[in-house]
Every structure is written in C-alpha cells, then in structure tokens.
Chain A
C-alpha cells in the first residue's frame, strides 16, 4: 500500500469518527430537552367565578367554555403571571387563597408539553398530576366548595379557576 493511500484511508477514518460523534451528540441533544437548551413559557391565570357581576372582557373568548365546565355566569381575572421555565426545573406561581401552583416541564412529546403540575394549599396537595398539554393549549384547575344546603339560598361563594397555558 502506498503512502498516499494510507493517508487517504486515515483521513476517511477520522471523518467517519467525527460524523459519528456529531450524530451521537445531536441524538442525545434532541432526546433531552434540558441538554438542548430552550425553555417553555408557562402562563397561569387565576379567575374568580361567581354567579353575579360582570365578566372581564379578556375572558370573553373563554367564557362559553368556562360556563360549560364550571357553570358560573361571571368570570374575573384576579391574577396573571408568566414565567419562562427551563426544562426539568420547577416554577412556582402564587395563587389567591394562600395556594401555590408548582409546574415542572419535563419535555415535548407529540406536540404536547409534558409536565408535572402540583397545586398545594399549605401542606396539602389539592392536585398532583402528570399531564401532556398540547403546545399552546390551556387546561384548567378549579377550587370550589362543598355544595351548600338546599335551604341556603344566599350561597354565592363562587369558585377559583386556574388557567394553565404552556408554549414551547
């Protein structure tokens, strides 16, 4: 084998090694969102639902949905917060009533944001769930009260609705 052929063979071997390394790193980066960098924007909107009063104009689009799901007539935004959350890191959102919503985005799967969501009230976990929410989609958490006695006609305590939106 001539010197020229040996050099060419070595160059080809080095090129193959580099290509394999690039493919390996790319695969690992693609499979691990945290390594790939980036973040997901999480928006948490707290809404007071009641039977009386006006509704916020910003909720007009959601009002029919909220009515079907929750049943109240009036919806008012009481708090709105957005955070850029790193994949795998926890983000905490304060919720009226001394509650806390803790969100841990895990990654993307089939155009959905995979995340752990925990709604806590003091030491009590009102909700602890793993969800896959469609990218830019909204899901709701509601905190209500036990139904009032049938004789109690003055009941209008309403409910707290937490709107959770995630966008990669």
Chain B
C-alpha cells in the first residue's frame, strides 16, 4: 500500500470502518511513513476537537422543558385514544343500557288486569228506547234535548211561543 492509497483510506481508518486486512495495511504503512503518520495524527486530533466541540454544545443545551411538553402531548394523545375506545364501545354499552332499561320497565309494568267481572267487559246493552240524534234543526224559540237514563228515552222539547201547546 502506498501513501496515495493510505490517504484515500485515512477517514475510514480513523473511524474504524475499514476491513481488518485494510486496517492492518494502513497501520503498517503509517508506522513506516512519517508523513502518513502525521496525517493520521492530525486527523485524529481534528476528530477529537470536533467531538469535544459537539459535547460542549450538547452539554450547553437546556432539555429540562422538553420532557414535560412531551408528557403533556402524550397525555393528550392517551386521552383522545381513550375517548375513541369509549366511542367505539358506545353502541355496545348503549344497547346494553337500553336493554336493561327495557327489562326494568317491562318487569315494573303491571300486567294488564283481568276484567273484574264478565259484566264489565260486556258491551253496554243497547237501551230499548235509545235514539241517536244525527242532526237537529228548529225554528222554534227554544229547543231542549232531554234524555232519560234508565230506558234511554230521548225528548226533544220545543216551545210554541205562547200558542196552545
């Protein structure tokens, strides 16, 4: 391996990304080549400085307010998911509730009472003199409709305006 090939592989060597044989070849060459060794040292120093700078920047970041905000977001999402679960389950519990209410109402509704007697269920017998007035007109001064309950007799009474009855 010559200096040009090592120069191509310096970054990968420094990052440990070369396969073992290539890594060994670069290391053997750099051990015998002062310029390549110096290039490797300079690159390693640069990596260390960059890493240190990144570490300093990372340390300087204030992440104390990040997690509470994330926690609030997570809690809100959990709440929405819970509501969605309830809504998805709503038909089931609503149907169950309606069924239960119906059962309670059905159980509490008194059964239709039997007729206290056969007489009460029998249609009222038509009274012998029952009359239904479908229309009634009169030119008399006074008209009065009277009904007698016992026999159902109807009387239409008019006044003769002073004449003989």
- Residues of A whose CB lies within 8 Å of any CB of B are 65, 68-70, 97, 111-112, 119, 121, 124-134, 136-146, 157-161
Contact = CB atoms under 8 A, between A and B. Distances in A.
Contacts of A130: 133-135
Contact of B155 (A128, A132, A141): A141
5 contacts: A112-B132, A129-B135, A131-B131, A132-B134, A157-B165
Nearest to A70: B155
Given A65-B151, A146-B159, 4 more contacts: A126-B140, A131-B134, A133-B131, A146-B162
Contact of A137 (B128, B142, B146, B158): B128
Question: Interface of chain A, helix or strand or loop or mixed?
Answer: strand
Contacts of B127: 134
A145 B160 contact: yes
Contacts of A124: 139-140
Interface string B134-145: 111111111100
B130 interface: yes
B42 interface: no
B158 to A, nearest CB: 5
A127 B140 contact: yes
B165 A137 contact: no
B131 to A, nearest CB: 4
A63 B63 CA distance: 113
A69 B148 contact: yes
Contacts, number: 123
A125 B138 contact: yes
Interface string B146-165: 10101111111111111111
Contact of B162 (A68, A129, A137, A145): A145
B129 interface: yes
A140 B146 CA distance: 9
Contact of B156 (A68, A138, A142): A142
B146 A69 contact: yes
Contact of A139 (B138, B139, B155, B165): B155
B153 A138 contact: yes
A135 B151 CA distance: 14
A161 B148 CA distance: 15
Nearest to B127: A134
A146 B163 contact: no
B126 interface: yes
B48 to A, nearest CB: 118
B126 A134 contact: yes
Given A69-B148, A97-B163, A146-B141, A140 B135 contact: no
